[in-house]
Amino acid sequence: MDMQKLFSLEGKIALVTGGAYGIGFAIGEALAGAGAKIAFNCRSQSNLDKALADYNAKGIDARGYIADVTDEGQVGELISKIEADLGGVDILVNNAGIIKRIPMTEMSAEDFRQVVDIDLVGPFICAKAVIPGMVKRGHGKIINICSMMSELGRETVSAYAAAKGGLKMLTRNICSEYGGANIQCNGIGPGYIATLQTAPLRERQADGSRHPFDQFIVSKTPAGRWGDPEDLMGPAVFLASDASDFVNGHILYVDGGILAYIGKQP
């Protein structure tokens, strides 16, 4: 078997939602490195312009679009534009997401709904928009960016955990419903990754010491460090490529071992 070809994304069109920076950008870079043409969306022109320059600096000719994943009309237009500019979407990475850290009894229903809307309804809307084309073309890959919170809870992240737990089950359901059409829908569950989303958890304290949560995560991770967006590049290429054609409805945790570890005795 030609192993290079098995992992190659040559000739494929990939859409990475929220691929302007952070984990989405690293995944866009990875898929491009394996041969795919990259489209991404975000919500602001300034982020889009910066991202285009960042992709360009890496020698990647990415296409960027303004679209909010919670808006079905905007997502429909996004997919039509990508089809006109590049072709039908072969690989969808549902990466766009937010978190709000608020104790549950202090959280408004409006805040809770916004997190669920972006982190769970958004992936539903984007998957729904690409699945018909994938069915017609006879193949498709959908990768949902899940979380440690697809499995675990902690104080202040009730909406995020509810959404990411739901995203795990949406992944399994897309697999169940469209696996027969040769669509593989899998999730990646990143551990604690150093990006803007987690920056508040890594802030230095006034006395220069590390944030207690930062120390907690390092001690809870057998790898002994935070993850980097680059840690997700290989797993994303695997799940986007023919190498994973018999992998479906699976969540691949890329967490430095957190989920395997009970933690150190204090």
Interface with ligand NAP includes 145 (CB under 6 A)?
Answer: yes
Instruction: Find all residues with CB under 8 Å of 180, minimum gap 6, and list them.
Output: none
Q: Which of 17, 147, 221, 241 binds ligand GCO (CB under 6 A)?
A: 147
Does 70 contact ligand NAP by CB under 6 A? yes
Return the range that interacts with ligand GCO (CB under 6 A); candidates 13-21, 104-112, 129-137, 147-155: 147-155
What is the SS3 assignment for 237?
helix
Is there binding between residue 23 and ligand GCO (CB under 6 A)?
no
27 sits in which H/E element: helix 22-33
Distance in angstroms (rounded) separating the CA atoms of residues 149 and 62: 31
Annotated catalytic residue within 21, 55, 160, 178: 160
Tokens of 99: 């978190």
Minimum Å gap between C-beta 160 and ligand GCO is 6
- Shortest distance (Å) from residue 250 CB to ligand NAP: 16
Partner from ligand GCO, ligand NAP, none binding residue 23, C-beta < 5-8 Å depending on class = ligand NAP
Q: Does 193 bind ligand NAP (CB under 6 A)?
A: yes
Q: Select from 248, 32, 73 the least CA-distant residue to 40.
A: 32
Compute CA 162 distance to the chain's CA centroid, rounded to the nearest angstrom. 16
User: 235, 252 in Cβ contact below 8 A?
Assistant: yes
Q: Which does 157 bind (CB under 5 to 8 A by kind): ligand GCO, ligand NAP, none?
A: ligand GCO
Q: How far is CA 142 from CA 87, 111, 139, 192, in A?
A: 16, 27, 10, 22
In the complex, minimum distance from the CB of residue 199 to ligand GCO, in angstroms, rounded to a whole number:
10
Pick the closest to residue 259 from 208, 221, 218, 204 (CA basis). 221
Q: State which residue, 58 or 154, has the beta carbon closest to ligand GCO.
A: 154
Q: Is 190 in the site for ligand GCO (CB under 6 A)?
A: yes
Shortest spacing between CB 260 and ligand GCO, in angstroms: 14
Residue 56 engages ligand NAP in binding (rule: CB under 6 A):
no
Extract the tokens encoding 69.
């994943």
CB contact set of 163 (below 8 Å; sequence gap of 6+) = 97, 115, 116, 118, 119, 120
Asked if 192 is an active-site residue, the reply is no
Distance (Å, whole) CA 107 – CA 43: 24
CB closer to ligand NAP, 23 vs 34? 23
24 touching ligand NAP, by CB under 6 A:
yes
Does residue 157 touch ligand GCO according to CB under 6 A?
Answer: yes
**Contact between 62 and 97 (Cβ < 8 Å):** no
Q: Point out the residues that are catalytic.
A: 160
Q: Using CB under 6 A as the criterion, which residues of the chain lie in contact with ligand GCO when the complex forms?
A: 99, 101, 147-149, 154, 157, 160, 190-192, 197-198, 201
